[in-house]
């Protein structure tokens, strides 16, 4: 919320600290994938905010995480930046659109981490754990085993699981994002 007003924040280049979760938050950080998780998956790269089809129930689900005191961090591979199918200014516009769509329903992201690299050229393209590690470096108060990750692909979940997080797949054939959030926030019996 505080860091996402700048292009650098929207491009995932902010390295400033992420403030601690609420003391009674059930999870320190909930990591969310973007395409297929918050917005409908479509072929090719999303290059315009108008093409970012935010799933109707996604903002309310993010707001529930906000209200529960969890920090919410977006982790997204955007290889189009490396292949020049997506420009930085387009990604800024798309992420601003996402932030606005969430804000319209009282929801927000606390940080965005982006892998802008080509395949096999970095340590952060999911399923590598770099994006998660970058966020955790900004949140030294957060313990991975008190974090969770929701995504529509196994490649979202593998790195999170490797770090000891709770994970849940969402999307077609799996729980919807609101269902996954409800199950995360359900108090243990």
Q: Retrieve residue 127's tokens.
A: 């399923």
Per-residue contact string for residues 137-156; x = within reach of Mg ion by CB under 5 A: ---------------x----
Applying CB under 5 A, does 125 fall inside the site for Zn ion?
yes
Q: Is 53 a catalytic residue?
A: no
Query: Taking CB positions, which residue lies at the least distance from Mg ion?
Result: 36
Asked if residue 122 binds Zn ion (CB under 5 A), the reply is yes
Whole-number minimum distance, CB 142 to Mg ion, in Å? 22
| Region near Zn ion per CB under 5 A, out of 88-96, 125-133, 155-163, 170-178 | 125-133
Among 30-38, 122-130, 138-146, 179-187, the segment contacting Mg ion (CB under 5 A): 30-38
Residue 125 near which of Mg ion, Zn ion, none (CB within 5-8 Å, type-dependent) = Zn ion
Q: Rounded CA gap, 137 and 118, in Å?
A: 23
Report the residue from 52, 115, 139, 157 that binds Zn ion according to the rule CB under 5 A: 115
Identify the residue among 14, 35, 93, 110 touching Mg ion (CB under 5 A). Answer: 35
DSSP string, the chain: --STTSHHHHTT---SPPPPPPTT-S-SEEEE-SBTTTB---SS---SGGG--B-TTHHHHHHHHHHTT-EEEEEEE-THHHHTSS-HHHHHHHHHHHHHHHHTTT---SEEEEE-PPTTS-S-STTSSHHHHHHHHT-TT--GGG-EEEESSHHHHHHHHHTT-EEEEBSTTSB-HHHHHHHHHSPP-
Q: Binding of Mg ion at residue 14 (CB under 5 A)? A: no
According to CB under 5 A, which one of 18, 102, 112, 124 is a site residue for Zn ion? 124
Strand order in the sheet with 148-151: 111-115, 71-77, 29-32, 148-151, 166-169
Q: Does 52 bind Mg ion (CB under 5 A)?
A: no
36 belongs to the binding site for Mg ion (CB under 5 A)? yes
φ, ψ dihedrals at 74, nearest 5°: -85, 130
75 binds Mg ion (CB under 5 A): no
The catalytic site residues sit at 33, 35
Residues that bind Mg ion (CB under 5 A): 33, 35-36, 152
Task: Give contact residues for Zn ion (rule: CB under 5 A).
Answer: 115, 117, 122, 124-125
């Amino acid at each position: 919320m505080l860091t996402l007003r700048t292009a650098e924040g929207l491009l995932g280049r902010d390295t400033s600290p992420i403030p601690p979760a609420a003391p009674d938050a059930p999870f320190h950080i909930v990591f969310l994938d973007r395409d297929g998780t918050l917005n409908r998956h479509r072929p090719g790269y999303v290059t315009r905010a108008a093409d970012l089809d935010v799933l109707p129930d996604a903002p309310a689900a993010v707001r529930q995480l906000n209200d529960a005191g969890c920090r919410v961090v977006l982790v997204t591979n955007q290889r189009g930046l490396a292949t020049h199918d997506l420009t930085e200014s387009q990604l800024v516009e798309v992420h601003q659109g996402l932030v606005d769509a969430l804000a319209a329903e009282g929801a927000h992201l606390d940080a965005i981490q982006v892998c802008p690299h080509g395949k096999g050229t970095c340590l952060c393209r999911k399923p590598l754990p770099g994006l998660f590690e970058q966020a955790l470096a900004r949140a030294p108060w957060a313990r991975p085993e008190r974090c969770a990750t929701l995504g529509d692909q196994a490649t979202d979940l593998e790195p999170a699981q490797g770090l000891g997080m709770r994970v849940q797949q969402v999307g077609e054939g799996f729980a919807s994002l609101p269902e996954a959030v409800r199950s995360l926030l359900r108090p243990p019996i």
